[in-house]
Structure 1
Amino acid sequence: MNLARIRFHKRSIIVTWLVSYLSVLLIPIMISGILYAAAWHVVESEVNRANTSALKQMEQAIDNSLRGIERISLEIALNKLVTGFINTSKPLTDNDYYELISIASDLRLYQTANDFIEQIYIYYRNSDTVISTRDRTNSRMLYEKTREQDTMSYEEWAKFFEKPYMQEYTPITFREDGQSMKAVMYAKSVILANPDQPGAVILFVIKDSKLLANIPSTSDRTSIAVLDKENRLVASTGLESRPALLDYGKLTGKNGMFMSADAGQRAAVSYITSESTGWKYISTIPAELFDDKMAYMKKLIYASIILSLLMGGVVTYLFLRKNYVPINLLIQSFAKKSGLSFQEGLNEYGYLQAALNNTFAEKEQVDRRLHQHRDAIRSHFLQGLLKGRLEQNVPIHESLAAHDIRVASPYYAVLLFHIEHFGKFEMDQYAAPEKVRMLHFLIMNVAEEVIGDTNQAFITEIDNMQACIVNFGTDPDSDELKRIAEQVKSFLLDHFHVHLTVAISEIHQELYGLPPAYQQTLAALEYRLVMGSGEIIRYEDLPSSETVRPSRSYYYPLTVEHQLINLVKAGDFEKSSAIINEIIEINSSDASISVPLAKCLMFDLTSTLLKTMDEIGASSNRRTFIVQTHQVDRLMASSTIKEMKGQIREVLAEVCQFIQDDRQQDHNALSQQVIDYVKSHYADVNLNISMVGEKFELTPSYLSKQFKAQTGEALLDFISRTRLAEAKRLLSLQQLSVSDIAKQVGYADINTFNRIFKKFEGITPGKYKDIQ
């Protein structure tokens, strides 16, 4: 087959392949470019490394010498002759001149200690004296020798020495013996005890030629420069003028390298920063040096690119022919058998895809329909396994394979989840069936996650509950089932406030043991009547005929029932509630009561309470109370003993409170009658507790106890206070004697009247009458 038979249109795969092969050809070209860039980076790094190393050597040499100068300046500042001359003022005496000679001698010694030092000056501002190693002069002559620029005035120069304290370097032009040279001056103040007095400044002059003498040998085209923190050019070599790239602010960081173009000339700039002085040491190399080193590499790169294009073009042509032949044969075969013709302008892969889609379309539709009903079919199959409804004509292993169920071991158990409370879903706007479906879906996912990879879970909805078949992957363990149930229950409770009751069967072998396992979970779930809702109930923990105690299988004797009835009638909530708790505790202790007996206990307790309430409701008011509160419906709606216990306590509390309130009303009526009787008979000398008791047909002790319980005051004290209130009114009128008043309020003996009056009022009746 030749390329003439290949259709080169834009949708053909031949165009796609051609683009792909050409893209592959770009890889060596890109690699060549990367290699060139890497080589350039290596050369650049090596040059930068060499320059940085040279700059560091120069930096270390200069910093060491400068630190030596700073140490000498400290020694000079501590010299007694130097500090002693600070306070000397004009005119100078012979002794002052002698001291200056001694100071100059010492300065010559200090100068010889460091080769960098060109000259040392000490400027005494108090006497305007400048002493050096050679001679004595004044500030005006020092200005002529050490100006930074020729245009600097004397006043500008003098401001430099007006600082209260200085210790800094500055570039200057040093003039001596009729010659000018670039230099660096280090100025240090001599500290005085009194800072208000004019002091002295020590000046060290360092020639830049001595600084640059520390520059290692480099290329003739390499330029070196030193900048201080004030962006001043301290020293340089190889520079006719200061280029724009020598800017302290642009040289950020402690060191670095960058390419710069100045006056049309490209250059590589390397720099480092001195940690002691903060000076920037800069090396500048023309970019042509890089280009010379990379010329040979460029030739190799160009040769490899041309060779790649030539060889790649030949290989592309050969592979296009070889790869298109099988595609063309496959298209011709599909065109004959499927009836779909290959039209001009179609993509070969698109044609093959359309043919395949047309072939498998019907199969995909069938698979899609099966997949839509797979969950329902599988759920129905699992329900049949649990209820024992299996097809006898189909082997069990074929049924499992058809529903994509793969068992890991012959050991099975069943967990049954019953929803007691919807939790956060209770307030949703969905209907109850939708809430149940949502919670069943949630339980299914949580259970599958908890069971994990070791064991398998097959979950289905059955009888409005969620059943989980656990197939053990390892050795069966009943504690593992309880762990699963606890985790599922706690997760739904913590995150959604959903309350579940979980029933757990025993472990069975083979699939034929699933129906008995399911029946066990139903029996365990029914036992929540005893244990209460929201519990985890294992079938193996249920009481059997051997565990039930025959001597006390049901406890609710008639004597206890009569005692409960009497306590309810008496309105004693605490004792009647304690008896009910005791009855339930004795019957449900150790979970030994059976479900039928538990139902009998619930009916008996409800019946006892209803009979008692009926007896209490003898009057019309009480019967109306019983009918209005619907206690019967509340008691009969209980589904567990625990729930019934709570409902009985609520009903008991209402009934006992009603009885107490009713009795309180009767008692309040009695005390009011006694009060009215005492107020109308207080003048009777025979009035006492016995007389009142006979009136109301009550014993004196019972009457006194009930009166104090209802009013908080003893009956005898109430009688005395009633009489004394009338006595005080009569005493304030000042019309009767004390003895007459005593007889008028019911006291036959004046002494008794005086004693009782003083007991309650604190004074005698006579004194009370006098102060009125």
Structure 2
Amino acid sequence: MKRIPMTVQLVFILFCVMAIPTVILTWYSGAQILRNSEHAIAESSLAGLNANRNLNENALNNLTRYTVLLTDGRIFDRIRDYETFAEINSTYSTISNGLSVQQQLTSMNNMSDGVNSSFFYLSDSDYVVSTDKGITKLDRYESLEWLDDALEGQRGIAGVWYPRKLKSGAAVISYVLPLNRLTSTTRGTIVLNLDESQVEQYLRNSGEGQQEYVLMSRDGTIISHADKSLLYTNGNEDPAIRDILGQTQEEGYMFREAGGKRMLYTWSRSTQLDWTYVSLYSVDELMANSQAMHRNIVILTVAIIVAGTILTYFLAIWVSKPARELVRTLRTKGGLGIQRQNELVFLDDAFKRMQEEEEALNRLLHAREKDARSLAVHQLLRNEWSASIDEIFPSACFVVAVLSIDRYRTFVSNNSPETRSYHRYQVMTECEAAFPENMQTQCVYHGEGCFALVINYEQVELGDPDGVIHDRLVKLRDNVSELLGNTVTIGVSRPTEDRDLVSNGLVEAMEAIKHRMISGSGEIAYWQEEDGREGKYIYPVTSERRILNYLDQGDLDNILRELQFIGSEIRSAEYVSYDNIMFLYHQLAGVTIKHLRENNVSTARIFAGRGNIYAALASLETLDELEDYLRDFYGEIIQYLARTPGETNTHGDRIIQYLNEHYREEIVFEEMAKEIGISYSYMRKIVFEMTGRSLIDYMNLLRIEQAKRLLAESGLTITQIASEIGYNNVRSFNRFFRKFEGMAPSSYKAERSRSAQEEPHS
């Protein structure tokens, strides 16, 4: 599609828009016409069948009436006394009476077309008077045993119509009228034989499409049919006829497939005679005119589509002319390098490329503008002049705030570089959006988890305008803490109207941050000048000596009491600087280490795995953290000095046993150390001395050994095994397995399976 010219595509689209609805409309309308025509013709055919039925019934009723009128003339009373053939032929008078009866029967036959013959049988006589054989003996005439079957279902005084074949082979429908006391004084039976061919004339429709007709009695016996071989057979053998006889409606029609043709069956029931009339029509013949009209509609539709296609072509050329000229110009002068594409795709690619270039340019300009603003803010904080400062900070008053992430080293260890970079972007966005529009705010990253925020606003007198800055800083602190999942401390400088003092504001805000050493994390600290206090200095010399004495005595309780005393003295002092506090605890740690070395105690074995003690102290931000660190520091020393080889073995055995029993669980090592009765750091040293591995590595080694056994012996999946041995996800399991075994778990399992298959052959 990308290489098809636009003109061709437009022709195709316009063609589909025009042709498809036209074709659908033609198809739908043609189908509706044919469907409606079928039902209309079916209704018409049913009406014709009903007319033929009425014609046949009228003719039969006339014959019935003529027969009944014959009984009213008492013509049969003339021969009622002649019970034998000899008696009726005995005299001229008796013969004349018999001929009179014959003449009346003949007259009745002549009143209607299609009457084959008729006769009168006097009850208990041995002769019949007939129109075909005259007065003849009963044994010379055809058998009358069928009369009992014909009159079996008779009700009342009316006669019955009964289909049968004469002795001559002619098919007739006989009207049998027995005489009784209500109709005549003579006992006998009048029989009128109507040719089946006459009924055929009544039922055969002169219209087109009729294939055959069927007249059936109540039980399905065929009374009249175009195929004479089917007369008096059971019509139920034809499935369509059987369905018709099973219908409850008095009349109707249905369509069926018969012999590869679509046939229309119409039926109508006679309540008077209890007969069913059926006509069969060829739907193709009936629908000849409708189908011809449908073909003409299709031909006309095709002609319209062809004419529309030609018109569509010229319309597409006219509509696409401006676009083709634009494409020709772009290809000639644009230099876009897009080849072998149609006009629409070319324009789409060209506009997309222009849009991408515009977006890239906008991003570049935005990044350059943001970088320029950040550079200007950094220069302002370094007290360097920048021409864009006046544009960025047009107001007179400045306040510098520093947002510091508490326990930053822990925060770094818990988050990947990508996560920290994303957090940095979020924090800077949050800082710049925290203040109202009348305060110009710019935030830059100052390093080590600190963000410098320069707030510029109009203020005649220095200070916080209506407490807005403090309220916004409180909200900023809460939002960032929730964002990072970590508390933050904010230090705020004094407001100033001197742009050259903004760099001093950064120093003041950083100094204010240090006050969390005593006040704790998560505070908003404002810088306050402490005149005349810089000379005051705290160092508990006496406590230092006592701690060393207690250390020699192995008295941990008194050491902890002295540390608590030092902390209380610091907290109760009117003023103590951050540097003083850090120096005090550094000095205590240094004096202790020096004292141990002077007493030939290996500090390397005591503090193995702890790292640089002085760097660890420097990273602590609050007095509580410093006190906790030193408690563990002196606790490890006392445990090391007081331990014996037997105690070490006892603790080691308990640690190894605990790990062997609980390595599948999520172990909190600090809680484990408390349960065993030693410090966490001491427990790590014992494990390292016994196994040569760190505590975490040894626990993971136990898990991997169990995983190897499960991979070799069980049918569990990798995910199931990871969960079984204590890993929350397959990724961690794969990482540690590769660390200890040098391959993935799946590779290990495949290798073990291959080895197991090769062993029987060897």
Q: So what's the TM-score if we normalise by structure 1?
A: 0.37
Q: So what's the TM-score if we normalise by structure 2?
A: 0.37
